[in-house]
Structure 1
Amino acid sequence: MKIITFRRGIVLVCIGLITSFGFSSFNKNQKTIWGQNLLDSLTESQKRETQNSLKGLKLHPDLEITTFATEPMLQNPTNIDIDSKGRIWVLEAYNYRPTNTGNPSNPAGDKILILEDTNGDGVADSRKIFYQSPDLNAPLGIAVLDSMVIVAQSPYMWKMFDDNHDGKADRKEILFQGIGGEQHDHGAHAFVFGPDGKLYFNFGNEGKQLLDAKGKPVLDQDGDIIGPNKYKQGMVFRCNLDGSKVECLGHNFRNNYEVAVDSYGALWQSDNDDDGNKGVRINHVLPYGNYGYKDEITNDGWQVNRTNIEPEIPKRHWHLNDPGVVPNLLQTGSGSPTGILVYEGNLLPAAFQNQIIHCDAGPNVLRSYPVKNNGAGYSAEILNVVQGVNDQWFRPADVCVAPDGSIFVADWYDPGVGGHQAGDQTRGRIYRIAPKNHPYKVAKLDLSTPELALSGLENPNLETRYLAYRKLQKLGAGATKVLENSFATNSNPRFRARAFWLLANGPQGFNYIQKAAEDANPDIRMTAIRAMSRLFPIGQWKKLGDKLVDDSDPQVRRELAIALRHNSSPNADKMWTKLALLYNGQDRWALEALGIGADGVWENRLDHYLESIKTLSAKPTGFNDLMWRARSEKALPYMAELIKADGNLDQKLAYFRALDFIPGENKHTLLVDLISNRFKNDPASQLVALRHVKLAVLQSNPAAKKTLLALMAKTSNELDFLELVEKYELTEANPKLLKMILEDKQTRKAGQIIYKLQGGSELIDKTFRTGNETAQRAI
């Protein structure tokens, strides 16, 4: 549905070959995948038939894949969820982008289906329509939470309610609205229930804003309007179950399709590059971070030239060399990333346990990304679950965990993705993946006692955990003993974390946070920091912070740095300084966490930090990096030292670029001084410095402008020349621009610029009126 260029002509011949299959038209006992030699014996139309749905797939050897449902039971699935009964809820998108595709649409609207295996043979034989309406057109997100079903479809995020539990929606309410991206893949996406009792969700870069049910702008955690004045592009959010207390947890993604939350409260996402630039990425989301799709200062795209630009396009795509951009966990190349989860079950093999599992519809693959700790951050590799090696129509759109620990994959099944196109409207499949000899069986959920409710909380299925969480929350003191026991003794740290979140949200929450902060497991200590910073003011957790600041684990220190964000208290300054002094100068994750922790209070942070190092015989190891990351004029003298120092210009480009992010006017005075003095005889450095002087300063400084014009006269790089002319509105360049047009050198760009400049259009008109046919053709 995204990214890969759609090649319509080669596939439309296949559309219309579908006949009226029954709901169980495939071979229920077919569990093997055929090789290429057997596929070669099939015609193209036979390959698309449901009985052959598994034959083009290459599966991990320790797993088995079975077909749960196919067309005509469902078509065009975009998103799924699985309830505690093991039923598969499916969003259909027959009415997908009709103005783009030219495909017919159903005036009755799209459907939300409930598919169920009622006889235990592993195949869906029951199909209910939970909701169908003309207002449902290509929805992209669904979350099933007992009688409440949250559906995301720009411009709305709805809560639908099945009040009498008959499998039909009885009423619908607006949760949020005003979200951009109607009939667009980059709009509103799915919600998930977090271990802390909150909802998490996101939207892509068409979303732009959130309005509440009454149409009023939603305010973020700082009391600011969630919109483009503060945030850029795609965003990820957290809120209460009723939609209150919305927090924006990250921004400047392109199309972050879904968010997955693990039991510790850590967030994981994928993001989609501009089509075809091999820049698809997986992110660990540091809360409140900037993820670099657009230039933070200018809002320019990645293609626009900048100092210290990344040499590789996939990295350039995310402005990774800029201060203030959180690093990527992994870049996976070209793709169309969609559904994602963190698998916390134990049915799948160990290689997949506690790891991300992710759909990428572009390269026809469902993958896992085994994550390893790497300093304050993480690294990851790729491990395929299943790939359509011999079936390029396999388009995994979403993946969910069932109550038994198996996973289900929704297959959009289409000849292509990208450009909001769809070559097929009639097909769609749901597959189940599990180890061999593990048929699909879901026990009836029993939450009648605290012990049984705790067992439900430990289930890998999200709705089961939601029901158990709510039951344990309702039990209150009656559940405390079992939760305390799980938190204290459970051998699975993720189960301990789930129990902890309930305890931390209770009346004695701070006592449990204190215990968690002293736990031997760093993941539990990080969970404690996340809870304490959300639930209690810093004055209450200062003593804990003072202990955690010296934690041996860099990831724990990372979380503590983030917890200090926007806190201007002296306690926060002291903690931040201690953390900054422990920064080793090698860990970008730690550096960006320190930057988040200083956001909005850089003056306070640097005052305390610089005062604390006055008595040191040498600057701390990470000092230069901290000044590079700082957003304060207090960092300017140190940037000046680094730029003035002897050394290769390439080694200084990062420091020149950092000047763009330092507020105030003094940096321009520094740059003019560098041009006139330190780099007087160094034209290459002069040109770099001039790129960072703002227009008003250059126009008011004849000497600097003269230097720039002299340098431009010598440059042989036409694109550099045009960039500088446009940036500094250099009317003196009009004659050369005209010459470039007449000589057919960068004609389009030169023409765009000359018409913007004073006197440019007059020069063009005058030249045209000379009657010179060659000039007239060029113009």
Structure 2
Amino acid sequence: MQLSKKLRYGIPTILLGGALFSSAYQKSSTSRFINHYVDSVLTESQKRLPENSLSGVKMADGLEVKTFATEPMLMNPTDIEVDARGRVWVLEAYNYRPAITGNPTHKEGDRIVILEDKDGDGKADISKVFYQDPSLNAPLGIAVLGNVVIVSQSPYVWKLTDTDGDDKADKKEILFQGMEGEQHDHGMHAFVFGPDGKLYFNFGNEGRQLKDAKGNVVKDQFGKEISPKNYQEGMVFRCNLDGSEVECLGNDFRNNYEVAVDSYGTMWQSDNDDDGNKGVRINYVMEYGSFGYKDEMNHASWNVERTNIESEIPKRHWHLNDPGTVPNLLQTGSGSPTGMIVYEGNLLPKTFQGQMIHCEPGHNVVRSYPVQKSGAGYSAEIVNIMKQEKDQWFRPADVCVAPDGSLIVADWYDPGVGGHQAGDQVRGRVYRIAPPNTPYKVPAMDLSTPAGAVASLQSPNVATRYLAWQALEKFGKSSESELLKVYNSDNQRMKARAFWALCKLVDGKKYTELALSDANPDMRIAGLRAARQLKLDVISYLKNLVKDPDPQIRRECAIALHGSKSAETPELWVTLATQHDGKDRWYLEALGIGASENWDACFAAYLKKVADPTQTEASRDIVWRARTNESIKFLASLATDAKTDLKDRLRYFRAFDFNKGKSKSETLLAMLKGNSAEQNQINKLALSHLDADFVKTSPVAKEALTKLMATLGSKDFVVMQQRYRLSEENNRLMTMIEKGEMTREAGDILVNSPEGLAMMKAVINNPKKEDLAIKVLGSIRGNGGKTSLDLLQSIMFDKTKSMAMRKESTRFLGGSMSGEDLILAHLKEGKIPKDFIPFAVEGVSRAWRRNVRTEAAKYLGNTSGTTKSKLPPMAELVATTGDAKKGIEVFAANCSVCHQVNGEGMDFGPKLSEIGSKLPKEGQYLAIMYPDAGIGFGYEGWELKMKDGSTLTGIISSKTETDLVLKMPGGTVQNLKTSAIKSMKMIKNSMMPTGLMDGMSKDEAVNLVEYLMSLKRK
């Protein structure tokens, strides 16, 4: 009765946003009643109030969540840090991508805000601005290191210093610069202080390169420039506190958002797939590894066809079947992963102690991935900590550990998950997670004595550990006895922290060797890592470790050989290699890392131990992973071994791609024998792995290729012809156009070769072949190249040609972006005959640029058909329930030309099979109405100026040094030579048509969104 009275008078906001939600509370009838009240009584606007934000939250057993701060104290938090005083530092992003979103901006720039709980009640009382400046635009990473704050915002990493202790930045310096991806979520991310006194950081695939404060490209520990010349896509780094001695520790990620480091120096991070492919992953970062987002050798996109391609797209996404790709720890399906830590406190339940804790805004959850060792690698599972089951606006962006061991979570709170979009600019929340009834109290810190500094070094809070490290550095050897107390304790992670301080600040050689003899394998691993950092005699230590019974120790031994120039390296590597069991991919990739750039010597030494490496599963793995001419003959033997099913031999054919040189080509050519069914498959595989130029210069290879292509189906034939461009095969391409088989692909190949173009013109100029001529013209409608456009225009204006050919050419001309511009120009200049205008307008009716469609329609003389219906306000649309079954029809008519759902539709834009799990109704409407505000990563449009004067527009599917694959709306694919491209420019607008809903009725709009909301992960 009392509860009902409170509800009646509007006090449920106190009950709900009084900010307490525990697992027990969630299970109570009171909780269910309140949640029902929120769902059924409160308006959408009221549900968004901060006091109601925890309705629908489900917590892990033994934990509760409370609100620490909400708007207006902060807004749009992208990243947070908790300092040693328990204050929360917030990076804000009000000015997030205004050029795309169209949102207003603060001319003063974005802010770094400090939130402080003065009275100890677990809620922030004060919000103060540490720094605000017009140059601060949606920064992505913050690290608080005493009075220094490192802020990541591509193209800069800034070091802000508070010189007088007034919580205001007094000095701003550049730490790093030159990264690309300005105002892009795939640029530079947060820095974190490691247990070894180093800084760890990463950037996504828009970072591309790293320059120092003076603008010089940084060289890593091996003297290699950190640029696409040596590394590709997202990367992971380590450096000294002053930014010196940068090491590149891994590459080929897509958007590795934040690296987390445990006390042993092991690195973990998440990575995002191309949206819609259910390939989000968690990685153990094996040092110097390549992680498979793009083809390691030619940088081709993951979706480009390759031998032994993975059957499942989520695995295909990471080239997991390729030699040289480090395995994923865990693939988590769809999502938009962000901040991550390793929790090394003892306040949370044991399940989460020593484990990764991670924010997944796409799934509205904060969760953990408890890890178990598995051979030389690991296995993991997913355990949720805080799951919002009702409010899809909950977007956890980052998580940190407070000095008391509680979790602090930042909530971006938005209908979308970033991705160039912000549906809400002013909201933002910070929550605290702890066991029930745990007050927020910051432990006392005394850095004036070695004992106090060592005590603070054991804090679960990174900022506290940094201050402790600085104090211990000043104490030097006088801190040794206190550190040894922790080193000799039973807490292995605290022992590891003490070890790093002992070897870095007291006596490196002494304590490294002590760790190397420790009974705990993790300590031996830390010792080996320290030996490498301290540049000790690593080879002498490896001699005692390469036969260690623990495969994880041997993994680290292999990694330690990377870049070694010692004459003893090959024998040490062989000792490790002969212990491979043929089942542990982690171990195999560690061996590959160890032999990198030294494969000739390592494999030669291996052959002295294993005369015939084709006999065991383990040695076959070594052959498959090797990168040396000496392995080629064994690859050929394995690839042609008739005793093994051909599908199991595909891996060996693929391995040829990772070796170069004359020996490879000659070996593959020698594999071309006979014409049996299986041998034809082998011939095809062998030819597909030869260098294209080699085939053209080798009469034997060319003859074999010609014979083989005669046996191929249309799809395989086109793939081979795109690769080799043999003029002798043009007749078949013309026949394909006549039959309607892969006409666009056939047309593209023909029009881009002199012989093919001549053949096309011959057909077009033959009055007896008019039907075929129209098909030929239609085959190049989406090409957009100058040759195609000139050919279509020449027919359109040629009065000697039939009316049918001229009208169809007019319609086909509008099939590309360059053609659309020509159609508009001709319409404005009155060059298109009146009878042809409807064909010209129809040809651009599906243009992705709304202004093209609108402008062209004006020339019909009757624009009534283009009048747009006015939809009701967003609130009314969101409140209306539609018919999902009818929405399928709306989707088919308006969306399927560019999007797939469960494999149906065109593969152009992001796949939408789980879009209902990713975006709430508001987000669905925003994404459709304002596509420019939410361009999916990897789906940015590009304008290519060609050297022939033409312009092409589409999505770059793959780009290598010599070739580029361009996808265009409707599924058209153009294979281009980079040598033919004059310039490339990313388009600010989405490739998705604007105003898609303008012509819809209210019913059509709500039905479409209802259908999209039904597309949820299973």
> If the length of structure 2 is used for normalisation, what is the TM-score?
0.72
Is the Cα contact below 8 Å between 1:680 and 1:686 reproduced in 2? no
For 1:18, the equivalent position in structure 2 comes to none
Is the Cα contact below 8 Å between 1:742 and 1:778 reproduced in 2? no
Q: How does 1:436-515 map to 2 (within 5 A)?
A: 436-487=436-487, 489-506=488-505, 508-515=507-514
Is the Cα contact below 8 Å between 1:255 and 1:272 reproduced in 2? yes
* Greater relative contact order (Cα < 8 A, sep 6+): 1
Q: For 1:263, what is the secondary structure of its paired residue?
A: coil
Is the Cα contact below 8 Å between 1:454 and 1:468 reproduced in 2? yes
Q: Which amino acid aligns with 2:593?
A: I
Is the Cα contact below 8 Å between 1:679 and 1:685 reproduced in 2? no
Shift of residue 682, structure 1, vs aligned partner:
1.8
Q: Which amino acid aligns with 2:622?
A: L
For 1:11, the equivalent position in structure 2 comes to none
* Among candidates 657, 672, 675, match of residue 675 of structure 1: 672
Structure 1 pair 465/665, CA: closer, same or farther in 2 (3 Å)?
same
For 1:6, the equivalent position in structure 2 comes to none
Greater displacement, 601-610 / 35-44 = 35-44
For residues 371 and 567 of structure 1, the distance between their equivalents in structure 2, rounded to whole angstroms, comes to 31
Shift of residue 224, structure 1, vs aligned partner:
1.5
For 1:731, the equivalent position in structure 2 comes to 727
Shift of residue 414, structure 1, vs aligned partner:
0.6
For residues 208 and 288 of structure 1, the distance between their equivalents in structure 2, rounded to whole angstroms, comes to 17
Matched, 1:703 2:712: no
Residue ranges of structure 2 left out of the alignment (5+ in a row): 1-13, 780-1018
* Among candidates 631, 636, 640, match of residue 632 of structure 2: 636
For residues 705 and 527 of structure 1, the distance between their equivalents in structure 2, rounded to whole angstroms, comes to 55
Q: Which amino acid aligns with 1:732?
A: E
For residues 30 and 154 of structure 1, the distance between their equivalents in structure 2, rounded to whole angstroms, comes to 38
Q: For 2:341, what is the secondary structure of its paired residue?
A: strand
For 2:899, the equivalent position in structure 1 comes to none
Q: For 1:570, what is the secondary structure of its paired residue?
A: coil
Matched, 1:565 2:567: no
Is the Cα contact below 8 Å between 1:307 and 1:657 reproduced in 2? yes
Q: For 2:362, what is the secondary structure of its paired residue?
A: coil
Greater displacement, 200-209 / 409-418 = 409-418
For residues 756 and 747 of structure 1, the distance between their equivalents in structure 2, rounded to whole angstroms, comes to 14
For residues 584 and 146 of structure 2, the distance between their equivalents in structure 1, rounded to whole angstroms, comes to 43
For 1:652, the equivalent position in structure 2 comes to 649
For residues 424 and 746 of structure 1, the distance between their equivalents in structure 2, rounded to whole angstroms, comes to 45
Q: For 1:191, what is the secondary structure of its paired residue?
A: strand
Is the Cα contact below 8 Å between 2:201 and 2:238 reproduced in 1? yes
For 1:361, the equivalent position in structure 2 comes to 361
For 2:521, the equivalent position in structure 1 comes to 522
Q: For 2:571, what is the secondary structure of its paired residue?
A: helix
Q: Which amino acid aligns with 1:607?
A: A
Is the Cα contact below 8 Å between 2:673 and 2:679 reproduced in 1? no
For 2:621, the equivalent position in structure 1 comes to 625
For residues 763 and 29 of structure 1, the distance between their equivalents in structure 2, rounded to whole angstroms, comes to 74
Matched, 1:93 2:89: no
For 2:682, the equivalent position in structure 1 comes to 685
For 2:142, the equivalent position in structure 1 comes to 142
For 2:773, the equivalent position in structure 1 comes to 775
For residues 425 and 418 of structure 2, the distance between their equivalents in structure 1, rounded to whole angstroms, comes to 15
For 1:720, the equivalent position in structure 2 comes to 716
Sequence identity (%): 55
Is the Cα contact below 8 Å between 1:644 and 1:678 reproduced in 2? no
For residues 751 and 490 of structure 1, the distance between their equivalents in structure 2, rounded to whole angstroms, comes to 73
For residues 774 and 436 of structure 1, the distance between their equivalents in structure 2, rounded to whole angstroms, comes to 77
Q: For 1:682, what is the secondary structure of its paired residue?
A: helix
Structure 1 pair 342/710, CA: closer, same or farther in 2 (3 Å)?
same
Structure 1 pair 352/135, CA: closer, same or farther in 2 (3 Å)?
same
Is the Cα contact below 8 Å between 1:39 and 1:56 reproduced in 2? no
Greater displacement, 256-265 / 762-771 = 762-771
Greater displacement, 705-714 / 65-74 = 705-714
Shift of residue 621, structure 1, vs aligned partner:
5.3
For residues 260 and 468 of structure 2, the distance between their equivalents in structure 1, rounded to whole angstroms, comes to 19
For residues 457 and 365 of structure 2, the distance between their equivalents in structure 1, rounded to whole angstroms, comes to 30
Is the Cα contact below 8 Å between 2:512 and 2:527 reproduced in 1? yes
For residues 353 and 92 of structure 2, the distance between their equivalents in structure 1, rounded to whole angstroms, comes to 30
For residues 735 and 438 of structure 1, the distance between their equivalents in structure 2, rounded to whole angstroms, comes to 79
Shift of residue 571, structure 1, vs aligned partner:
2.2
For residues 380 and 271 of structure 1, the distance between their equivalents in structure 2, rounded to whole angstroms, comes to 15
For residues 523 and 111 of structure 1, the distance between their equivalents in structure 2, rounded to whole angstroms, comes to 41
Shift of residue 775, structure 1, vs aligned partner:
3.2
For 2:250, the equivalent position in structure 1 comes to 250
Greater displacement, 697-706 / 675-684 = 675-684
Shift of residue 712, structure 1, vs aligned partner:
2.1
Matched, 1:344 2:341: no
Matched, 1:589 2:586: yes
Q: For 1:342, what is the secondary structure of its paired residue?
A: strand
For residues 17 and 535 of structure 2, the distance between their equivalents in structure 1, rounded to whole angstroms, comes to 57
Is the Cα contact below 8 Å between 2:78 and 2:93 reproduced in 1? yes
Q: Which amino acid aligns with 1:38?
A: Y
For residues 698 and 330 of structure 2, the distance between their equivalents in structure 1, rounded to whole angstroms, comes to 46
Structure 1 pair 336/698, CA: closer, same or farther in 2 (3 Å)?
same
Shift of residue 679, structure 1, vs aligned partner:
7.0
For 2:214, the equivalent position in structure 1 comes to 214
Shift of residue 773, structure 1, vs aligned partner:
5.3
Q: How does 1:16-35 map to 2 (within 5 A)?
A: 27-28=17-18, 30-31=20-21, 34-35=31-32
For 1:179, the equivalent position in structure 2 comes to 179
Shift of residue 768, structure 1, vs aligned partner:
2.9
Q: How does 1:408-447 map to 2 (within 5 A)?
A: 408-417=408-417, 419-447=419-447
Shift of residue 268, structure 1, vs aligned partner:
0.3
Shift of residue 754, structure 1, vs aligned partner:
2.3
CA RMSD of aligned residues (A): 1.9
For residues 675 and 220 of structure 2, the distance between their equivalents in structure 1, rounded to whole angstroms, comes to 46
For 1:749, the equivalent position in structure 2 comes to 745
Greater displacement, 453-462 / 707-716 = 707-716
For 2:377, the equivalent position in structure 1 comes to 377
Is the Cα contact below 8 Å between 2:607 and 2:613 reproduced in 1? no
For residues 269 and 27 of structure 1, the distance between their equivalents in structure 2, rounded to whole angstroms, comes to 32
For residues 157 and 583 of structure 2, the distance between their equivalents in structure 1, rounded to whole angstroms, comes to 42
Greater displacement, 416-425 / 465-474 = 416-425
For residues 153 and 110 of structure 1, the distance between their equivalents in structure 2, rounded to whole angstroms, comes to 11
For residues 219 and 613 of structure 2, the distance between their equivalents in structure 1, rounded to whole angstroms, comes to 47
For residues 129 and 284 of structure 2, the distance between their equivalents in structure 1, rounded to whole angstroms, comes to 36
For 1:50, the equivalent position in structure 2 comes to 50
Shift of residue 26, structure 1, vs aligned partner:
8.6
Q: Which protein is richer in helix relative to its size? A: 2
Report the structure number with the largest CA radius of gyration: 2
For 1:16, the equivalent position in structure 2 comes to none
For 1:319, the equivalent position in structure 2 comes to 319
Q: For 1:338, what is the secondary structure of its paired residue?
A: coil
Q: For 1:582, what is the secondary structure of its paired residue?
A: coil
For residues 759 and 674 of structure 2, the distance between their equivalents in structure 1, rounded to whole angstroms, comes to 37
Q: Deviation digits for residues 351-395 of structure 1, max 9, x if unmatched?
A: 101000111111111110000000000000000111121111010
Shift of residue 104, structure 1, vs aligned partner:
1.0
Is the Cα contact below 8 Å between 1:84 and 1:461 reproduced in 2? yes
Q: Deviation digits for residues 469-499 of structure 1, max 9, x if unmatched?
A: 1111110011011112221x21111111111
Q: Which amino acid aligns with 1:475?
A: F
For residues 673 and 702 of structure 2, the distance between their equivalents in structure 1, rounded to whole angstroms, comes to 11
For 1:12, the equivalent position in structure 2 comes to none
Greater displacement, 648-657 / 568-577 = 568-577
Is the Cα contact below 8 Å between 2:19 and 2:67 reproduced in 1? no
Shift of residue 421, structure 1, vs aligned partner:
0.9
For residues 484 and 557 of structure 1, the distance between their equivalents in structure 2, rounded to whole angstroms, comes to 27
Greater displacement, 572-581 / 202-211 = 572-581
Q: For 2:385, what is the secondary structure of its paired residue?
A: strand
Residue ranges of structure 1 left out of the alignment (5+ in a row): 1-23
Structure 1 pair 681/316, CA: closer, same or farther in 2 (3 Å)?
closer
Q: How does 1:275-294 map to 2 (within 5 A)?
A: 275-294=275-294
Structure 1 pair 592/110, CA: closer, same or farther in 2 (3 Å)?
same
Q: Deviation digits for residues 508-540 of structure 1, max 9, x if unmatched?
A: 211111111111111101101111122124xx3
Q: Deviation digits for residues 304-349 of structure 1, max 9, x if unmatched?
A: 0000100000000000000000000000000100000000000000
Greater displacement, 258-267 / 698-707 = 698-707
Shift of residue 451, structure 1, vs aligned partner:
1.1
Shift of residue 65, structure 1, vs aligned partner:
0.3
